[in-house]
Structure 1
């Protein structure tokens, strides 16, 4: 009798869940990811994030080839490579990038800076601040520093470990006119997202705009091709609690939920770009409540870029 192959997504979920229960789980997970990924940054990955830079600039009405004048930006979800903060910085902006944990290190920041320098020199990307580009290249020629902050702060970027629901101790964030995220919001529970949006409203300038990239697909589908981007919508709340974990948390919010959260917290969506899958993508799936009641047009959205202003 042939044994059915293990579901790869479940193996990953179980391994993450076990790690999440360990003492100092976040630090262990971070160390494991560093070892598995190594110090490598592909050109394709860099350019995928650079497209976010371009769209964040356009949220301010900047086509991407003009210097940012008096622009103060806040990013949540710094991650491993600070490509978006560097992109905003070489256009002349100052940036506070916020995360709940320390993922940056000097080696990976240098990799991001080197890629930026190479691609700008080749004409593949544009940087509107020659002064900042010159500063970046000076930093790359200098002896390697011991910390990520020593590379970023001369570029006008301050990395901060904080809860974005309370930025009272981050004065550089106050008066910001651009607040962004890049495939981060889907990893945050709805009630915390509401707190972040309210805090952004409080610290943002009168003309503040938010620009958020959101991945609404089941992230396990990228690991296991036998499931679809909508697979997690077939799991009951009880089963999903067993599968979901704090190291790989996914909130399962749909596009309508994000619109509602933004409206409730004082923001108005002025522009949105949505990526939808065809209706046949749902064939054979038994959606559980409340997803079986979501309008199909909303349900099929797997990626979104939302731009908002104060309501």
Structure 2
């Protein structure tokens, strides 16, 4: 019974909201998440991110098994395991991975590097630049206390703490021709996204492509089987503000909102891969404005991969 009660989405939201209101909340939340993720990296999770790597390469017209030529990439949202930067690096690219906080630690970086090496040896993944993979394997023999930059910089991966709306102080990002994110944009407010897209257009090369994976579903649904992925569209702005705390922020933007933001900042969507739920997912839900007037076809999109180029 206790486990059943704890699965309520609102209980999770309340606990997270209380933590968000505490002094030093961000540092405490980061410490708790570091502890949970200290040694947890599954093969399924790694391969799901490797799929993103391959699709980002396809955005450049690269089939995935060919070495990248003069590719400079920017990733927004480094996260806990730098799987996508490692994937681009072993295809020959250089990567600046940008986040507002530092989540990388040597043992997690090593876990990701080791799993990449093991999966390639097992024939489950392929790389485009074998010499970069060889360098990665040699770095796995470095002392256990080797700092993160010394593990990643030799591979052409440059972690940076920055606000992606202004990359003026990071000249290494200027002229990038591939700009990516992986289930990050849904955690960023619309106006901040507008600034990021505009900055990416400013610093990107003339032939730059953006490739973004977006999770548009209610993330609380992953913790409570009583609600579905569209549940948060039933909460009024006031109720949503109460549960949508800064530690687990979701913007509730719909696919049409992303298209509009991209258009307004000078980008043209060239490829869309959308995952939609059946219309029956809306059964029994009372949608609140503005979602009650949003086209059903848009509401049902719970995952998206968008590829863009300059308009």
TM-score, length-normalised on structure 1?
Answer: 0.97
C-alpha separation between the residues in 1 aligned to 2:145 and 2:48?
27
C-alpha separation between the residues in 2 aligned to 1:38 and 1:163?
26
C-alpha separation between the residues in 1 aligned to 2:6 and 2:108?
35
Contact 1:145 1:151 in 2 (8 A): no
Q: What residue number does 2:185 align with?
A: 185
Q: Deviations over 1:279-301 (max 9, x none)?
A: 00000000000000000111100
After superposition, where does 1:145-224 map in structure 2 within 5 Å?
145-224=145-224
- In the TM superposition, residue 229 of structure 1 has moved relative to its aligned partner by 0.3
C-alpha separation between the residues in 1 aligned to 2:60 and 2:5?
50
Q: Deviations over 1:128-167 (max 9, x none)?
A: 1111001000000121244211111111000001000000
Q: What residue number does 2:66 align with?
A: 66
After superposition, where does 1:45-124 map in structure 2 within 5 Å?
45-124=45-124
Structure 1 residue 20 and structure 2 residue 43: aligned? no
Structure 1 residue 270 and structure 2 residue 270: aligned? yes
Q: Deviations over 1:83-109 (max 9, x none)?
A: 000000000000000000111100000
Q: What residue number does 1:9 align with?
A: 9
C-alpha separation between the residues in 2 aligned to 1:32 and 1:224?
21
C-alpha separation between the residues in 1 aligned to 2:36 and 2:268?
41
C-alpha separation between the residues in 2 aligned to 1:214 and 1:137?
32
Q: What residue number does 2:306 align with?
A: 306
C-alpha separation between the residues in 2 aligned to 1:51 and 1:37?
21
- In the TM superposition, residue 5 of structure 1 has moved relative to its aligned partner by 4.8
Q: What residue number does 2:139 align with?
A: 139
Contact 2:234 2:286 in 1 (8 A): yes
Q: Which runs of 5+ in 2 are unaligned?
A: none
- In the TM superposition, residue 24 of structure 1 has moved relative to its aligned partner by 1.8
Superposed CA RMSD: 1.1
Contact 1:186 1:215 in 2 (8 A): yes
C-alpha separation between the residues in 2 aligned to 1:36 and 1:143?
24
Q: What residue number does 1:43 align with?
A: 43
Contact 1:197 1:262 in 2 (8 A): yes
Contact 2:185 2:214 in 1 (8 A): yes
Q: What residue number does 1:293 align with?
A: 293
Contact 2:7 2:223 in 1 (8 A): no
Q: Deviations over 1:185-213 (max 9, x none)?
A: 00000000000000000000000000000
Q: How many residues align?
A: 308
Q: Which moved more, 1:301-310 or 1:26-35?
A: 26-35
SS for the counterpart of 2:136 is helix
SS for the counterpart of 1:229 is coil
SS for the counterpart of 1:207 is coil
- In the TM superposition, residue 19 of structure 1 has moved relative to its aligned partner by 1.0
C-alpha separation between the residues in 2 aligned to 1:38 and 1:139?
20
Q: Which runs of 5+ in 1 are unaligned?
A: none
Structure 1 37/142 Cα, relative in aligned 2: closer, same or farther at 3 Å? closer
Contact 2:38 2:108 in 1 (8 A): no
